[in-house]
Structure 1
């Protein structure tokens, strides 16, 4: 098949969940012999030059990069809030130049499937309808309004008011685009059910983000055990909120109980205010690490204290593939299908986080069981090529 993936961010380097979800499927399609093109917005925030994309990545797909500013600023958000009913998150990605590039690409090429990676490229469906007879697929990476609805619950004051307003705008925007596509590909079963409740009537196929077992190889050679760690984008509000909550509500008790236990935090683009919150005994801020998998392999207990967000947490999938014992919240575990105390550990409040950390530190059998079962679970449920093959089969059965 000839497939066009459309995304609002260059999916390389693969340093966040969205990029990983897009690129893993690109590789899966290519390795199965399909012809893949990726048309992507090259934003100011995540700008990449073509020279920065290695040949090994260019070998799997043709990349078409279009410069789209998608600026984020307080004045722009304020003007949008007062004079527009549309969500600021969405209007930043509605760009005339990108629309022209898409139209030109469709004039010059014929595709079997055009896969829209996320909500914010769905406004370009009318252009695709005019220019192409391809099957249009909406690949929903998460329920966008839910991210901000949950963030509002964690906030207070003017921030809470703004986030509540934003989540309602995004929900209206999300509902307005329902069924404009031909096929729906949610990333989790839960997201598929929520989209059906919002009005989806199109055929759907759940396609979780797969992992490449040849890349994610567990290695305990340099393991520091016991040790705690967190890795993720530190510019993403749910990660920021979760880490601040953990440090404020759990760390003092943990440090008192285990004075030599270290908590390593890795991730890119941490704002200064957040870095300042990491200035606590035995909390070690690593910043952006050169090799994320090497970093994960070198630490033992992974903490993912998430209380907002939506979709699937790719870093949890990767951590499980590397045999980590992971403690997260019910929201963090959403959509993965894990079993508490079998292949992952679930904690709902500060007391449970402290208790579960203590159990993993002191009970070697429990610690090893969680990590071992995590690997088996991921290898069985999240093979990338298998996921891509099932998706292609769905496309062939339901394409125009």
Structure 2
């Protein structure tokens, strides 16, 4: 099949969940013998040369990136108050990019055009007119849920009202736009049920996050026990607010010794204010790491304190593949077919996190066994080879 992947960010390097999913999909489709093109918006205006895929993949796909300015200004936010749409989506629209995209789809006879998330769905109506391809939408998250859940965390009535307004606007947009696609894929049963509740009529397929499991080679001999760690992009608001909550909740316990364990925080775009949480010999704010899997392997207990989100957390699936003991909120582990205290430990408030951490740091054998069970679950349900075969079957059914 001839397939175009349309992405709102350059998925290279694979330093976040979105990039990992998009790149693994492209590699999987190429390995199955399909003709794949990637067109990506480059919202951060990074150098294209530093954002190229590996040479082997470059020789197998057609790749174009287009710089776009998605900067949020105070004036832009203020003007958006008088519109019916959300600035968070509108800022990804660029008429020049749309012109280039239309030229791309008119000159190539694509069978499938896959829109990776809500931000590129802005271009769907124009693409629909210019191409006979089947248009597939992949829901990485239900964006309105993120904004609604963020509003639930706010005490300030203005902030709460503002976030709820955007949640409503995005929900209205999702209801209208998603039903215009030929089909939708989601990562979780919960997301499919929610879309059906919205009244979406097009086919919806559940396809979980897939990993190239041969890349994930845990080595317990190199793991510091006990140790807590978080790995994720902190420019994503749910991650940032979750980690701020965790640090504010446990900084005293970790530094005073009530929880005799070190905490390591790593990821992209960590705000400078997080440096204030550093505590000599106790809490380490490391920023971006050179080798994410080496970092994960070197620590024993992954924490995922997500309070607002949706979809499936790729970092949790990676943690499972690396045989990690994982403590997550129910929301963070949403969509993963886990058994609490067998594959993952679930903690939804401070007391539950405290008790889970205490158990894990006191019982190394329990921690190791939990990680082994998690790896088996990843092998059973998150093998990219299986996921891609199911995705291709879904494409073929859409083209009938």
CA distance in 1, matches of 2:347, 2:254: 15
Say yes or no: does 1:5 pair with 2:5: yes
The match for 2:20 is 20
1:257 offset after TM fit, Å? Answer: 4.3
**Secondary structure at the counterpart of residue 105 of structure 1:** helix
1:61 offset after TM fit, Å? Answer: 2.1
CA distance in 2, matches of 1:265, 1:31: 35
Q: Which structure 2 residues correspond to residues 74-113 of structure 1 after superposition, within 5 A?
A: 74-81=74-81, 83-113=82-112
CA distance in 2, matches of 1:154, 1:98: 36
Contact 2:274 2:285 in 1 (8 A): no
CA distance in 2, matches of 1:16, 1:51: 16
Could you list the runs of 5+ residues in structure 1 that have no partner in the other structure? none
Contact 2:255 2:279 in 1 (8 A): no
How many correspondences in the alignment? 398
When residues 60 and 342 of structure 1 are mapped into structure 2, their CA distance, relative to the original with a 3 A threshold, is farther
Contact 1:32 1:385 in 2 (8 A): no
1:104 offset after TM fit, Å? Answer: 0.5
CA distance in 2, matches of 1:278, 1:56: 41
When residues 316 and 124 of structure 1 are mapped into structure 2, their CA distance, relative to the original with a 3 A threshold, is same
Say yes or no: does 1:118 pair with 2:129: no
1:80 offset after TM fit, Å? Answer: 1.4
1:269 offset after TM fit, Å? Answer: 0.8
Contact 1:116 1:136 in 2 (8 A): yes
**Secondary structure at the counterpart of residue 306 of structure 1:** coil
When residues 201 and 160 of structure 1 are mapped into structure 2, their CA distance, relative to the original with a 3 A threshold, is same
CA distance in 2, matches of 1:129, 1:50: 31
**Secondary structure at the counterpart of residue 3 of structure 2:** strand
Contact 1:5 1:36 in 2 (8 A): yes
When residues 224 and 194 of structure 1 are mapped into structure 2, their CA distance, relative to the original with a 3 A threshold, is same
CA distance in 2, matches of 1:211, 1:298: 20
1:50 offset after TM fit, Å? Answer: 3.9
Q: CA-to-partner distance for each residue in 1:312-348, whole Å, 9 max, x for gaps?
A: 1110000110000000101011011211100000011
Contact 1:254 1:354 in 2 (8 A): no
The match for 2:133 is 134
Say yes or no: does 1:58 pair with 2:54: no
Say yes or no: does 1:297 pair with 2:297: yes
CA distance in 2, matches of 1:280, 1:118: 41
1:250 offset after TM fit, Å? Answer: 2.7
Say what the alpha-carbon RMSD is for the aligned residues. Answer: 1.6
The match for 1:346 is 346
**Secondary structure at the counterpart of residue 214 of structure 1:** helix
The match for 2:169 is 169
When residues 273 and 255 of structure 1 are mapped into structure 2, their CA distance, relative to the original with a 3 A threshold, is closer
The match for 2:186 is 186
1:119 offset after TM fit, Å? Answer: 1.2
CA distance in 2, matches of 1:65, 1:26: 15
**Secondary structure at the counterpart of residue 206 of structure 2:** coil
The match for 2:145 is 146
The match for 1:315 is 315
Say yes or no: does 1:47 pair with 2:46: yes
Say yes or no: does 1:232 pair with 2:214: no
When residues 339 and 280 of structure 1 are mapped into structure 2, their CA distance, relative to the original with a 3 A threshold, is farther
Q: Which structure 2 residues correspond to residues 29-48 of structure 1 after superposition, within 5 A?
A: 29-43=29-43, 45=44, 47-48=46-47
1:72 offset after TM fit, Å? Answer: 2.1
1:205 offset after TM fit, Å? Answer: 1.3
Question: Which shifted more, 117-126 or 318-327?
Answer: 117-126
CA distance in 2, matches of 1:62, 1:385: 22
**Secondary structure at the counterpart of residue 184 of structure 2:** strand
The runs of at least 4 consecutive aligned structure 1 residues that moved more than 3 Å come to: 254-260, 277-281
Question: Which shifted more, 203-212 or 316-325?
Answer: 203-212
1:278 offset after TM fit, Å? Answer: 3.9
CA distance in 2, matches of 1:51, 1:146: 33
CA distance in 1, matches of 2:174, 2:275: 34
Contact 1:250 1:353 in 2 (8 A): no
